[in-house]
Amino acid sequence: MLRYLFVIIIYCLSWQGQTQEDAWVFLTDKANVADALANPTSILTQKAIDRKEAHGISIDYRDVPVNEIYVSDLKLQSGITVLAKSKWFNAVHVRGLQTDIESLENLVYVDYVDFANTNLGSNSRLSQLEDKMAIENQAVSFNYGNTQNQVEMINVDQLHVSGFTGEGITIAVMDSGFPNVNTMDAFQRLRDNGNLLGGYDFVNRTQNVYANTASSHGTRVLSCMAAFIPDDYVGTAPDASYYLFLTEDVGSENPVEESYWVEAAERADSLGVDMINTSLGYRFFDNPNYNYTPSDMNGQVAFISKGASIAAEKGILVVVSAGNAGATAWQTVGAPADSPNVLSVGGVDENGDYVAFSSRGGAAQIGYQKPDVVARAGLSFVIESDNSIVQNNGTSFSAPILCGGIASLWQDVTHLTPIEIREAVVQSGSQFSTPDDFLGHGIPNLWSARNEALNLSEFDKVEVSIYPNPVEDELQLKVNNVSEPYDVSVMNYLGKTLYSKSLTGVSNQIDVSRYAPGLYLLTLKNSQFNSTFKFIIQ
C-alpha cells in the first residue's frame, strides 16, 4: 500500500512540474518587407495610409505582417498551441509545457522566447484585468436630472451645440462583450447612420462580436460615447464611427488577453482608426507566477503597455481607464494605463471630487504623471444591454466619456495631430500647473481646449524645435519666423517655475545641467505664438 502511495505522490509531483505555460515567441525576420513597404496598400487600408501621411507617421517594418510560414510551422510543433500573433512585435503567443516551449528556441526562425511566468527564463514578464469590474457592475436606479453632469463637467456640451458630435472620427473600442449593440434602441442612430463599422471577437475568433453575452461591460462603455435616446441620453460622440473588438475573456485571467489586445490594436491601425478606447487593465492572473507588481507599472514591462505605446507611435490617440485600485493595497494605475504615451483617465464624482476607487499615480512612473486627467467615474450614467439607463461606478466609464468628448473636439480642430490633441486636452486640465497622483492634471475643459487650439492656428507660422530630447546638459532652441522677443520658461512637473527669461533670435541654449533627471515643461510665447513642450533630462 505504501508503495502505491509513494508512486502516486511521485506522479503528482511530476504532474505539477508539467503545467501549461504561456510565452511569446519572437521571430527573427519577416517575408517580402521591401515589397510590402513599396506597396503599402498591400498591408494597410487607404484610410490608414492617409491618416499616417496626415500626421507625418512613417510606414515601417512593424507594419509588415508576421511571416505566416513561421506561424504555420509553430502550429506543427509538438505540444504547442498558437493563440495570437503580433506584427508590431514580430511575435507569436503560444501555450504549452515549459520544455516544449523552450525547444522552440532551436528553430532557425526563432530569435528568443519570453515566458509570461517571471520565474522561467531570463526575459520573462506579463499581467491582469481590472477586478472583474466588481465595482462597475453595481447598478443604481436612473435619475435623469443628473445625466447632463458628466457631459457638462468636461464642457463637451458646448461642442455639441456648435455641431461637433464626433462625425468623421473613427474609434476602436477594446472590451469584454457588446451584447445587443446591434439591436438596442440606444444605438439605433449609430446603425442608421452607418457608423457601426463592425468588429471582431479575438477570444473566440469570430466576426460575430455580439454573440458573447458573458459580459455587457463593452455595451455600457460604448454607451458613454455612442448612445442616443431622444430626451433621455446623449453620449459624448454620438456621430463618431466605431469598431468593436472583444479582447477580454471574462472566464479567466491569462496573459493571452494582452496579446489579443495588441492584435486588435494592430487591426485598428490597419483600418485607419483615429482613437482607441479601452476600459481594461491588467495586474493579476489566475496563475500568480504571471502577476505584475506596482513597480512594474512603468510602461516598459507589460506586453500590452508596450503595444499601446506603439499604437500611439503609429498615430492613434489611445485613451485608457486608470483602474479601480485606488482603495486597495495596489493603489497605482495598471497596464496599459501606465504607458507614458497613452491618455490615462482617472475618476471623480458628480461634484468633481476624487473617488477613492480611482487608481493613482505611483513611484514607478518616473518623469511623467499618471493619471493624465480625470472625468466622472462615480455613478456615471450608462446604458445596459436591456436598454435601461443605470448608474455605475468605475474608471471604465470616465475614459469613454472623455474619449467621446475628445472625438467631438477633434472634429472641430482637425489640423491637430494626435500628440497635439492630447496635449491640448491635458493643458486644459483644471490643475494643469499643479498635477498630483489623484487627479493628474485635473478635469479637462474641452471647449477651452478648442478655443486655445483655434487661437493658436491664427498665429503666424512660427516654427519651433527643441533638441536633444532627452537632454543631459544644454537644451537647444530653434525658433524660425519670429519677429519679436519671446518669453521662455521651464517648469518641473509639479508646476514650479525653474527658469524664466526673454529671448530673441533664431537659436538659443538653456543650461539644464543643474536640474534633477525627470520630465519638464518648456513654454515659449509672445503675440505670435504660444507653444509648450515636454522634455526629459537624463
Q: Is the pLDDT of residue 17 over 70?
A: no
Kindly report, residue by residue over 160-205, the tens digit of the pLDDT.
Answer: 888 889 999 999 999 999 999 999 999 999 999 999 999 999 999 9
Confidence of residue 242 (pLDDT cuts 50, 70, 90): very high
Choosing from 175, 239, 372, 412, which is the catalytic residue? 175
Percentage of the chain lying above the pLDDT 90 cut? 70
Domains of the chain: 8-115 (no CATH), 131-457 (3.40.50.200), 463-537 (2.60.40.3080)
Identify the pLDDT of residue 175.
97
Average pLDDT over residues 150-157: 93
Q: Is the pLDDT of residue 77 over 70?
A: yes
239 is catalytic: no
Identify the pLDDT of residue 13.
42
The x, y and z cell numbers of residue 98, run together, are 515549459
CB atoms within 10 A of CB 508: 16
175 is catalytic: yes
Cβ 319 vs Cβ 271: under 8 Å: no
Distance CA 92, CA 76 (A): 14
441 is catalytic: no
Identify the pLDDT of residue 121.
65
Average pLDDT over residues 206-223: 95
Report the chain's mean pLDDT, rounded to a whole number: 88
End-to-end Cα separation, the chain, in angstroms = 68
Identify the pLDDT of residue 131.
46
Identify the pLDDT of residue 2.
41
Identify the pLDDT of residue 483.
78
Confidence of residue 11 (pLDDT cuts 50, 70, 90): very low
Kindly report, residue by residue over 519-533, the tens digit of the pLDDT.
Answer: 788 888 887 777 777
Choosing from 86, 131, 201, 217, which is the catalytic residue? 217
Choosing from 309, 396, 398, 408, which is the catalytic residue? 396
- Mapping DSSP onto H, E and C, the string for 464-529 reads EEEECCCECCEEEEEEECCCCCEEEEEEECCCCEEEEEEECCCEEEEECCCCCCEEEEEEEECCCC
Q: Are strands 110-115 and 20-27 parallel, antiparallel or unpaired?
A: antiparallel
127-131, 379-383, 414-418, 455-459, range with the lowest pLDDT:
127-131
Percentage of the chain lying above the pLDDT 70 cut? 90
Average pLDDT over residues 7-30: 69
Q: Is the pLDDT of residue 230 over 90?
A: no
2: left (phi over 0), alpha (psi -120 to 50) or beta: alpha
Residue type, 350: E
Higher pLDDT, 247 or 232: 247
Average pLDDT over residues 389-403: 97
Whose cell is 442612430? That residue is 189
Is residue 531 classed as helix, strand or coil in its secondary structure? Answer: strand
Distance CA 490, CA 512 (A): 9
